[in-house]
Amino acid sequence: MPPTSLGLAFLMVSGISLLSSFLGFYTQLTHFCFITHISFLIASLIGQVFGILALFTREKSSLSMLKSPRDPKEAKMLVRVECGIFMAMLVMQLLVLALTCMVHSCWVREYEGLEAEREATAKKRSRKIARVQEESMANAAKIAEIKAKEFDEKMKSKYSWFLMGVLYCGFSCWAA
């Protein structure tokens, strides 16, 4: 005998709960989307609340919708057991939701700490690079200055006799 519409609704709520738990397990392993997991958890919680309300407040209509061939007392007991199971599932889902939020907040704090650490390392690295560039520019300027002095001294030593000769010749020509 195929399940009734109420039975299908309960199966769907249980299926969403199962999907939520598998998705939660998967997200914990792969750091998947937190919002997706929370969305499935909340959908499961809402379905369970509606299931509890349907079984608890509308017990007679729930019994008539189930169309159970069992004894009415036995069917009533089964509906109450099902309501109790849904309540236990609701409490467990609430605990899972709380734990999921706690784990997510811990991960966020950890990642924020890692991000701050990475930024501090990047600042230190950029300061070191700037200092090294400054030192290399200063060293390059000193090297250029030393090379210019060496070149001037080389030119003076190489052509100083020529200048002396020109100056001597120029002064002696004027004197005559």
* pLDDT one-digit tens code per residue, 157-168: 776 656 565 555
Residue 65: is its pLDDT beyond 70? no
pLDDT band for 128, please (50, 70, 90 cuts).
very high
Distances (CA, A) of 87 to 33, 46, 60, 92: 28, 12, 19, 9
- Residue 38 is encoded by which pair of tokens? 């929370």
* pLDDT (0 to 100) of residue 83: 78
User: Which DSSP state fits 70?
Assistant: S
Q: What is the pLDDT of residue 57?
A: 75
Is the pTM higher than 0.85?
A: no
**Residue 19 to residue 21: CA distance in whole angstroms:** 5
